[in-house]
Amino acid sequence: MRAVIRKELADHFGSARFLIIMSLIFMVSFLLTHLAGQGIRDVLSEGGNAFLAGRTFLLLFTAPAAFFSLSVFLSLFGPLVSIVLGFDSINRERSQGTLSKILSQPIHRDEVILGKYLAGLITVAMMLAALLLLLTGMGLLGVGVVPTFDECRRLFVFWLLTVVYMGFWLGLSILISILFRSIATSAMAAAAMWILVIFFLPVLSQAAAQAFAPFADPQRPRAEELSAYSRVHKTATMVSPTGLYTQSSAALLDPTHRGSDQAFRIALMSRMDRYLLSRFQGGISFSQSMLIVMPDILLLVCFSILTFLLSYVVFVRQEVRSV
C-alpha cells in the first residue's frame, strides 16, 4: 500500500489542475485574511483591545471580509480541492488500462482504494496545514498580535475538522469515479453533488423548518414557535455535512459562540436580559467549546467514514474482468 500512496502523492503534487485550484484557494485566502487584518487593526487603533480580548487572532479566520469570512470560504469552495483529487481516481486508471496492470501485481484491491484515499487525505492535510501556517505568519506580521495557547488549540482542532470535512468530499468523489466509467460524466456528477449539498440543502432545511414549525404571525413569533423552529432547523441541518462543518467551525473559532441556536435563545430574552448579556458576556473555555461541537464533529466523521466505506465496498465487489 505504501507504493500506491507514494505513486498517488507524486501524481497529485505534479498535477496541473491540483496546483491551479490550490493556487486559487491560497490567493483568495490571503485576500480575505488581509482584509480581515485591516479591520482588526482599525478596531485596535480605536481602543477596542478589551472588546477583542481573547479572540483577536481568531478574528482573522471569522471576521467577514468582502463577502464572507475565511472559514465560510473553506466550507463553500474547499470541497473543490477534494473533488479535483478524486473524481477520476479510478475511472482514469480504468480508461488508460493501468488498473488491470496494477491488480495483476501482488497488490490487493483494498490496498488500491485505501492507498488512493489516504494519499488524497494526506495531500489535503498538507495543503491545509501550509495554508494555516502561512495565514498565521501573515497575521503576526500584519496585525502584530501573538496567538494565545487557547487560540492555537482552537486552530489545531479547526485544521483537523477541515481535514475530516475534506475527507467526506474525497470519499464521495472517489465513489463517483467508481460508479461512472466516463471521466466527463463523473466530473459532472461531482459538480452536481457539490451544488446540491452546498447550495440546495440549506434552502431545504429552512423550508422544512418553515413547513413543520410555521409562525402564526411572522412579525411577532411566540417563544414556543421560535423554539420549535430552532429544533426542526437544527435537525434538518444534521443531514448536511456543510451545515455541520459551518456550525462546528463557528463554535471553535468564536469563544463567544454558545451553540447553533444562540440567535433563537437571544430572541426569547427580554430587553433587560439582552442588555446584561451584551455587557457581561465573555468567551467560554476551549473545553466548553469542544462539548458544544462534539456531536456535530462525530456526525461529520460518520459521514466521512460512510462515503469511504461505500466506495470501498463497491470497488472491492466489482468483477476483475470489468477493470
pLDDT tens digits, residue range 266-306?
A: 444 444 444 344 444 556 788 888 898 999 999 999 999 99
Q: Using pLDDT thresholds of 50, 70 and 90, give the confidence band for residue 108.
A: confident
Task: Tell me what pLDDT residue 321 has.
Answer: 53
The pLDDT of residue 280 = 40
112-164 pLDDT per residue, tens? 899 999 999 999 999 999 999 998 888 888 777 788 888 889 999 999 999 99
Contacts of 142 (CB under 8 A, 6+ apart): 33, 34, 37, 38, 41
Handedness of CA 57, 26, 77, 186 (dihedral sign): negative
Write the single-letter amino acid at 203. V
CB atoms within 10 A of CB 284: 16
pLDDT value for 258: 58
Please list the alpha-helical segments (H only) found in 144-214: 149-179, 183-195, 201-212
Return the pLDDT at 276: 40
CA-CA distances (angstroms) from residue 145 to 41, 55, 56, 136, 260? 10, 10, 7, 10, 29
Please give the helix or strand (H or E) that residue 14 lies within, else none: none
Say which residue, 55 or 196, is predicted with more confidence. 196
In the chain, how many H helices and how many E strands? 16, 0
Q: Find where cell 443531514 sits.
A: 239
Residue 165, pLDDT > 70, answer yes
Q: What are the CA-CA distances from residue 72 to residues 15, 60, 66, 111, 242 (Å)?
A: 26, 12, 12, 35, 10
Residue 232 has pLDDT above 70, yes or no: yes
- More confident position, 181 or 66: 181
pLDDT tens-digit map of 53-103: 556 778 888 877 667 788 889 999 999 999 999 998 888 888 887 777 777
Bigger pLDDT: 109 or 268?
109
Q: What's the structural domain count of the chain?
A: 1
Residue 100 has what pLDDT? 75
Which range marks the domain in which residue 29 is found? 2-322
* Rounded CA separation 260/52 (Å): 21
pLDDT-based confidence at 47, cuts 50/70/90?
low
Please check the confidence at residue 260 and state whether its pLDDT lies above 60: no
The DSSP annotation for 41-80 comes to HHHHHTT-TTTTTTTTTTHHHHS-BTTB-HHHHHHHHTHH
Judge contact between 101 and 188, C-beta under 8 A.
no
Q: In the chain, pLDDT over 70 holds for what percent of residues?
A: 85
Mean pLDDT of 229-256: 84
**319: phi then psi, degrees, rounded to nearest 5:** -70, 145
128 HSE (CA, 13 A, CB side): 27
- Indicate the average pLDDT of the chain: 82
d(CA 64, CA 159): 19
Smallest Cα–Cα separation from 192: which of 209, 179, 210, 205? 179
Whole-prediction pTM value? Answer: 0.86
pLDDT at 268: 44
Whether 33 shows a pLDDT value over 90: the answer reads no
Q: Identify the residue with better confidence: 16 or 145.
A: 16
Q: Tell me, what's the pLDDT at 52?
A: 52
Confidence of residue 214 (pLDDT cuts 50, 70, 90): confident
Q: Is 277 or 47 the better-scoring residue by pLDDT?
A: 47
How many degrees, rounded to 5, is the angle at CA 25 between CA 169 and CA 93?
A: 45
Q: How far is CA 87 from CA 129, 147, 301, in A?
A: 23, 38, 21
Residue 281: what pLDDT?
52
Average pLDDT over residues 242-267: 72
Say what the pLDDT of residue 282 is. Answer: 56
Long-range contacts at 219-224 (CB < 8 A, ≥ 24 apart): 223/268
pLDDT of residue 226: 73
